[in-house]
Structure 1
Amino acid sequence: MTAQDASALSLQAFLFADPAAHSLSPHMHRAAFQSAGLRGDYTAVRVPAPDLAAAVAGLRRPGVLGANLSLPHKEAALPLLDDLTPAARAIGAVNTIIHRGGRLTGENTDAPGLLEDLREHWPHGEGVPGAVVVLGAGGAARAGVYTALTLLGRDVVVVNRTPERARQLVASWPGAGAWGRLEAADASSVPWTDVALVINASSAGLNNPEQTPLDAAYLRRLPPGALVYDMVYAPPETRLMADARAAGLRAANGLGMLAQQARLAFTAWTGRDVPVTVFREALDSPRSGERK
């Protein structure tokens, strides 16, 4: 689709998630349409798991750019698509579906979006030696593993509340060991003094300020210069982040990642590279919401 074609159409994009009502993504993408001078809208739609196939099929309609996917659809959508980008194939999860000419391509903008936000909050991170611990074993965790293992070139340890799911993620990873070492472990067996970065990619703490995915005692073992990054952004200061700060560590939530991945998705749909500041400004008054 050319820029001229896009300008002439009333375009549509969606978020498919369950739940979806409190998503912040519509605010960002509507602002991006306006900034780009395009006639378009973005709608968050609650799609229960049994309805995903029908919702994805509906993206093939003219004027539909595609959709973002959130819990619980990032892995389930894979067999419903015509193509996957190399990153989406390697990660094994899709957060963005791109519609072109009746064909649907799965992309993952979570990983590069996470990388961009890590660079902002951890500017000297490359100089901090150590492994990365990823908390969780779902689609967001797979993006975290890809970012740490492939893009950062770090050894990665996956820790999950259900250890078997962490082991399944590791066993299914394509080319594990090509960049760094990938393993699953219980929190009690992680060498925390050698960990440079902790990424929470689980839903622990989402809209629950008292919940944390990791005991604070483990955080106190992390070396100076380590970063604790929580993909959860509602509440904006999670218990995990507060515990990290109390241990003298840097901590950040996932609001910047949300903006960065949205910018990349919008570019993939429209060919317009809207500045990330447009997306961030749309989040200036963040409300209680789901991770996109």
Structure 2
Amino acid sequence: MKKLFGVIGDPIAHSMSPLMHNDLFQRYNIDAHYFPFHVKKEDLSQAINGLKVLGISGFNVTVPHKVAIIPLLNEIDPLAKAIGAVNTVVNVDGKLIGYNTDGSGYVKALTEQVSSLKDKNVLMIGAGGAARGLFFSLSKEGVKRLDIANRTIEKAQELILDCPYAIEANALSKQEAESTLGEYDIIIQTTSIGMAPNVEEMPICLEKLKEDAFVSDIIYNPLETSLLRGAKQRGAAIQNGLDMFVFQGALAFELWTGIFPDTDRMRSIVQKQLGGK
């Protein structure tokens, strides 16, 4: 009997997850299909009940449901509980278990490019929902220092205090971060600044960027943001958000099937859909 998987969100038509996961099911000869489900905020509880009735084997969760879904699940993985958000659900004998593969997917993508994180000073730009998962996962990984630059310093301070893992971290204003930018080995941009259609926007001035720094932006539309373009011009190595998207999807696929999939294949499919090379 064909297994059912999917993704819930609002909006959902733009999601590239069905394309990616359905190709993987075909690649690994798994009799399954992955559907996008458009679920509005007010219909979330009813939708989860409906998915359980359908016998869904697993599903992804995207905006705006990553937090709201938590009380509707039977169990939450400790990391997802600490982050306070779920992006992947596995159905184990009728019991829905929530995980968060965003942060761990990002770390996996990052370590493909940066050999060791232990001795690195990292600056994270933004303290929103996306930053939370990344901050906790990088703290768990044990980076040397992990500072947060945010428009509202109080929000960055709250995120640092909420983290269950010991880490040297400071909350900075944008101006403070710009003046000390040369201290950081890795810069991670977690906000929507620079996303299409506002592609010329920059979250931070790169004047003091180290030449051998690594600059990462979780945005993948466009594939090269103004931030990444500017960093590349200054000699830095760069990474867009495509790898994070691919690896969080790969970790979700592994939770559902026990198979860690071909991430090069996944990346190629999404890049083709985005019109990139």
Normalised by the size of structure 2, how large is the TM-score? 0.88
Tell me, yes or no, if structure 1 residue 253 matches structure 2 residue 240: yes
Match of 1:149 among 126, 139, 146: 139
Structure 1 stretch 69-78 or stretch 92-101: which is displaced more? 69-78
Aligned-pair CA distance for 1:126: 4.0
Structure 2 gaps, min length 5 = none
Partner of 1:232: 219
> Do the aligned residues in 1 keep the contact of 2:186 with 2:213 (CA within 8 Å)?
yes
Q: CA deviation at 1:75?
A: 2.5
CA distance in 1, matches of 2:128, 2:41: 15
Residues 245-265 of structure 1, C-alpha deviations (whole Å, 9 max, x = no match): 122211110111211111110
Identify which of 2, 5, 8 aligns with 1:16: 8
- The match for 1:110 is 102
Question: In the superposition, relative to structure 1, how do residues 59 and 118 fare at CA in structure 2: closer, same or farther (>3 Å)?
Answer: same
Structure possessing the higher relative contact order (Cα contacts under 8 Å, 6 or more residues apart): 1
Verify the 8 A CA contact 2:219 2:240 in the aligned structure 1.
Answer: yes
Distance 1:72 1:153, change over 3 A: same
- Give the AA of the match of 1:53: S
Give the whole-Å Cα distance in 1 for the aligned partners of 2:201 and 2:122.
Answer: 18
Supply the distance in 2 between the matched residues of 1:63 and 1:36 (Cα, whole angstroms): 21
Q: TM-score, normalised by structure 1?
A: 0.84
Please, which of 262, 265, 268 is the counterpart of residue 278 of structure 1?
265
CA apart distance, 1:213 = 5.0
Select 1:101's aligned residue among 90, 93, 99: 93
Tell me if 1:51 matches 2:51.
no
Distance in 2 between the 1:240 and 1:32 partners? Answer: 32
Provide the rounded CA distance (Å) in 1 between the counterparts of 2:77 and 2:27. 27
Query: How do 1:115-194 residues align onto structure 2 when only pairs under 5 Å count?
Result: 115-123=107-115, 126=117, 129-175=119-165, 178=166, 180-190=167-177, 191-194=180-183
Match of 2:191 among 185, 202, 223: 202
What is the percentage of aligned positions where both structures have the same residue?
33
Aligned residue in 2 for 1:36: 28
Runs of 4+ in 1 over 6 A off after TM superposition: none
Question: RMSD of the alignment, in Å?
Answer: 2.2
Q: Which amino acid aligns with 1:155?
A: R
Structure 1 residues 214 and 182, CA, compared in 2 at 3 Å: closer, same or farther?
Answer: same
Q: CA deviation at 1:152?
A: 3.9
Q: Could you tell me how far 1:48 is from its partner in structure 2?
A: 2.9
Q: Judge conservation of contact 1:156–1:183 (CA < 8 Å) in 2.
A: yes
159-168 vs 22-31, which deviates more?
159-168
Name the residue aligned to 2:64.
72
Contact 1:35 1:274 in 2 (8 A): no
Query: Which amino acid letter does the alignment assign opposite residue 76 of structure 1?
Result: A
| Displacement after TM superposition at 1:211 (Å) | 4.5
Counterpart residue identity of residue 162, structure 2: S
How many residue pairs get matched?
273
